[in-house]
Every structure is written in structure tokens, then in C-alpha cells.
Amino acid sequence: MYFVGVDVGTGSVRAALVDDTGRILKKSTSDIKTWNPEPDFYQQSSDDIWRCCCKVIREVTGDVPSSAIGGVGFDGTCSLVAVDANGLPISVSKNEEQEQNIILWMDHRAHKETEFINSTNHRVLKFVGGKISLEMETPKLLWLKNNLPKETFWHRVGQFFDLPDFLTWRATGSSSRSLCTVDCKWTFCNKGNVTDGWDNTYFEEIGLGDLSRNDWTTIGNQILEPGQPCGTGLTARAAQEMGLAVGTPVGTALIDAHAGCLGMIGIGLKNPVDFKNRLVMIGGTSTCHLLLTDRMIFAEGIWGPYFGAVLPDMWLLEGGQSATGKLIDHVISTHPAAGNLDVPDGSRVEEFLNELLNKMATDRGLDSIDMLTEEFHVYPDFHGNRSPVADPTLRGSMVGLTLSADRENLALIYLATIQALCYGTKHIIESVEKCDSVEVREILMCGGLSRNPIFVRTQANVAGLPVRSSTGEDPVLVGAAMLAAAAGRRQKLNEAAITMAGDSRTVQPSQRLNTYHNKKYMVYLEMLKNQQMYREIMSKNS
């Protein structure tokens, strides 16, 4: 029996054919269109994404009889999808381009709405670290209601979906929502009982009370745990588009980062009780930090606790950084030396810079590249701070700039940026560990950043913890396939999380670098304080 995992990321849709041991047999990728009409606005098309999904599914299953496909599982970015009463796209764009019916997760248009919602101090905000993020869905919903013509948009909306739920709806016709999406991104109130439901007082207070009409059908009134079967499986239309059999089981979806958590959390385990104390980092364009616990825990600046958002009967705490891989790409591509690196064909620029850093350390008589940045420091929140500060208006900064613009200078900035991102993770870990009986004992890392050995080694050294990265090809896709397996086999998701988990390699921290990185981390925290101090100075009346 085979399973299909589909991952809809920020820039592409990927599918994998996975066997029942979690081994990926075939993969396919298709790029997604993104429109960026003005700063902080990022829009996509659900029709475009669905076409990509069907294309990659056909490509990975073309040589396999449809009867051998035991299920399909989806994950996707936490992006907001709008459709009308007939299920057709309805534009979220100021210019009303109909196909652009998705507000991408990284869209930051809803600043004012986010500030207003946080000013209410409503009780549901306790479950998002005390402050809602403008990357979540209710600020975006409020922006749409406040800024687009009500007659041509708000009054025409049939349903709002989180992207993962749109995918299962499009595949099965079932409008059920995932506990993962509504819990983590929509303020669904779940304290260990799925029937707790939506808090109408919150929606009334922020001006979205009309979403409660018709028993919350606009945003979802059937909530399922991840991996539970959606409807009766693939509809005839979806099956034809995918080249699969009608009724093929479809598992309730996960947010893409949470699929990575599912794909990683069982690595090296035989007993589900060991799921806790492991911080899963999914590092790509942004980075999510996911920690499972066996009880309800509140941590300042950390999203959650969310019950059942990844695995049944476990609580999830979630931190994150809004720009990580994207930030590294930015500091490289905007440097004057970026066009003169002579990167060998077939190599990535990071590989070239990693080799250059090793040479620089050797030339300076250093036994570790970590120490190259003793006089150079970066604060990395170029796109705001998701956690634990929860301030989307924070910006990045650098200390130690010179007139140098050569490739060695680029390598130095690149390394200092990696270190700064790792200090951000340390900041998140410290915030979580302030809670009683919470301890992070190891880091599990997947995504693009896990394939950069300097990033992985730096994270281990900064956190003082072992870092495991998967030896498998793609834990996020395997996590999506686990959803398919749970639905197809009608088994608990935590069983699939162990039986389909792959192997890992482990990087141990260098204890001799503790003092160095502790000092650098103190500088990191001071740079945060200084930015806040500068704002206070500039805000004072002259």
C-alpha cells in the first residue's frame, strides 16, 4: 500500500509517493504564482494551487495502480482562502483580480486590525501568547471587512478557509476544518474538548460577529482531528483530476510546519510518551518551533497551548521567526559581492560561503568559525518578531560594519545572520522553559535550513543541545503522508508518527564555545533593548 503526501509551501506545491514505512519513492514539484502588488501585500490563487496539486499527484502516482493508493494527505501554509457561495474564488485584492483569492501567511497588511484586536485583551488572546499575530486569520478577516467593498466582497463570501482546509474541501466536498488550523490560527477555543467551539464574544467585540450566522458555516462548524477521514474520500471530479480512484481516503490536514513536526517527532522513538521535551524546528522561508506537552502550559509570547493540534491528547506550544531562510537569502543577494563569488556550477552559494568561512578561520588561526564574528553582530527581525516578543514592527540591525565590501565581508555577515537566528531560537527556548516542569532536551530540525551544516552546528552550539536532522529526504512530505495513512488505515495518528518515522543524524554541541555564545547572546538581547529604547527616544515630544 502506498500513500500520497502533498505539501503546499510558500512558493511551490510538492507531492511524494510514500510507502507504509515512510520511505519516499517518488517526488514532484510545481511552482506557485505569488502577486506582491505593494509592500506587505502577498496574494495567491486557489485555482492555481489546486492545478499544481493535481499535476504533482498525477506525476508521482502515474506508474502505480490507483487501487494501491491507500490515501492522500495535505498540508499547506496558514494562508486565508475566500470563496463565494458557489465555491468560486472571490478576490482579496484591492484591484479585484478574481483569481487572487488568497492572502498569503506572510502578508502583513493587517497592522491596524491586529493592534485593535490586541487592545481588547480578550480572553482568547491568552492562547496566542497574549497577543495575536497579524499572520493569523482574524486580523486578515477584519482587514477584508474594513477595506473591501462589502457588496462586492463581504456579502458575497460563502466560506473562508485556511489553505489546508480548502485543499481537503476541494478534494472531498466536505467543509470540515482541521483542529490544527482553527486552533492555531483562528482562535477556536479548545481546552481538551472539541465541542468547546468558537467564542462568539470575541468575534462580536472585534466586529466580526456576523461570522456566527448559520451556525458558523462561513468559517467551519465541523472540526476534526488531524488524520481523521474527510467526508467519503475523493469526489468523482477530484479523482479524475488526480488520476486516482473515487473514494480514496483523504486525511484531515495540517499546517505545513505542523506536518514537519509530525514527520519528525517520532524519529528514534518506540514509545509515544517520549514525544514531549523535543523541540521541532521547521526552517524554510520562516521557521516554526513546535513543542508537545502532556498538560496545558502558558508561556509568554508563545502561541498556544493548543490541544490536539498535531497529535491526539497532547498540547502544542508554538514559537516562530517570520524570516529565516528568506533573511539569509536577502543578506546574500543584496551584498555588493554577491555577483562576484564564482560559485561552481551545481553548487549553492551557501556551500561556497561555508567553505570560505572555514578558510577564513584557518587563516586567522581560529579553531572554530563561530569566533569570526566576535566584533560583528546582527539582530535578525527584519520582518518583525513573531515570538517571544510578538512585535511585528521590530526591525533588523547590524553592529560592526566597515567599508569592506568583498566576499569575506559577505561571508562574515552571512555567518553573523545565522548566529542571530540561532539566538532567536535560544530566546524562544528560554521563554518556554520559564514554565514549571518544561525542559527542552533536544532539537529536531527539518526543512531547508537543516541541510546547511553550518546552520545546524551553530544551532547546537548556541542552544547547548543536540540537534537531530532527518536522514530521510523530506519529513514534511512524510508527515503529510502520515495523515493519509491514518485516514486510510483508520488508525491513530501517533502510531503512524512512529511506524513511518525515518532515521536521523545528530550534531552535539561544543561545550568549549559556551562562553563565547553566551556573550554573543547577551549582545543580541541588548540590541533588542536598544531598538526599543531608540523608539522611546524618538517618540518623546521635542
Residue 513: is its pLDDT beyond 80? yes
Residue 273 pLDDT: 65
Residue 398 pLDDT: 97
What span, in angstroms and rounded, lies between the C-alpha atoms of 427 and 422?
9
Looking only at the bridges linking them, the beta strands covering 80-84 and 442-446 are unpaired
DSSP readout, 121-149?
T-GGGGGBTTS--TTSHHHHHHHHHHHS-
Q: Fill in the DSSP letter of residue 230.
A: P
Q: C-alpha cell of 460?
A: 547546537
What span, in angstroms and rounded, lies between the C-alpha atoms of 166 and 44?
13
**How confident is the model over 83-108, as a mean pLDDT?**
95
CA 512 to chain centre: 33
Contact 248, 69 (CB under 8 A): yes
DSSP readout, 11-79?
SEEEEEEEETTS-EEEEEEEEPP-B--STT--EE-HHHHHHHHHHHHHHHHTTS-GGGEEEEEEEE-S-
Give the chain's mean pLDDT. 95
Residue 181: is its pLDDT beyond 70? yes
Residue 192: is its pLDDT beyond 70? no
How is domain 325-436+515-539 classified at the CATH fold level?
Methane Monooxygenase Hydroxylase; Chain G, domain 1 (1.20.58)
What span, in angstroms and rounded, lies between the C-alpha atoms of 342 and 328?
19
Residue with cell 537531530: 468
The three-state DSSP-derived secondary structure of 87-113 is CCECCCCCCCCCCCCEECCCCCCCHHH
Q: C-alpha cell of 16?
A: 511524494
pLDDT in tens, 226-268: 999 999 999 999 999 999 999 999 999 999 999 999 999 999 8
Residue 194 pLDDT: 45
User: Exposed (0-12), middle (13-18) or buried (19+): which is 368, by Cβ within 10 Å?
Assistant: middle
Helix axes 407-433, 325-333, angle to 10 degrees: 160
Q: Count the residues in the chain.
A: 542
What span, in angstroms and rounded, lies between the C-alpha atoms of 263 and 22?
9
Contact 269, 501 (CB under 8 A): yes
pTM of full prediction above 0.85: yes
Phi, psi (rounded to 5 degrees) for 60: -85, -15
Least-confidence region, from 137-151, 190-204, 472-486: 190-204
Residue 300 pLDDT: 87
What span, in angstroms and rounded, lies between the C-alpha atoms of 244 and 66?
5
Q: What are the residue boundaries of the structural domains of the chain, listed by start?
A: 325-436+515-539
Q: C-alpha cell of 304?
A: 498556544
**How confident is the model over 209-230, as a mean pLDDT?**
95
Q: Fill in the DSSP letter of residue 311.
A: S
Residue 400 pLDDT: 97
List, in order, residues 6 or more apart from 131 with CB less than 8 Å away: 118, 125, 301, 390
Return the SS3 of 295.
coil
Q: Above pLDDT 70, what percent of the chain?
A: 99
CA-to-CA dists, residue 112 to 81, 118, 386, angstroms: 21, 10, 16
List, in order, residues 6 or more apart from 38 with CB less than 8 Å away: none
pLDDT in tens, 351-394: 999 999 999 999 999 999 999 999 999 999 999 999 999 898 99
CB 43: neighbour CB atoms within 10 A? 23
pLDDT in tens, 392-451: 899 999 999 999 999 999 999 999 999 999 999 999 999 999 988 899 999 999 988 999
Contact 70, 488 (CB under 8 A): yes
The three-state DSSP-derived secondary structure of 462-507 is HHCCCEEEECCCCHHHHHHHHHHHHHHHCCCHHHHHHHCCCCEEEE
User: Exposed (0-12), middle (13-18) or buried (19+): which is 66, by Cβ within 10 Å?
Assistant: middle
Phi-psi region for residue 149, left (φ > 0), alpha (ψ -120 to 50) or beta?
beta
The helix/strand count (H/E) of the chain reads as 16, 20
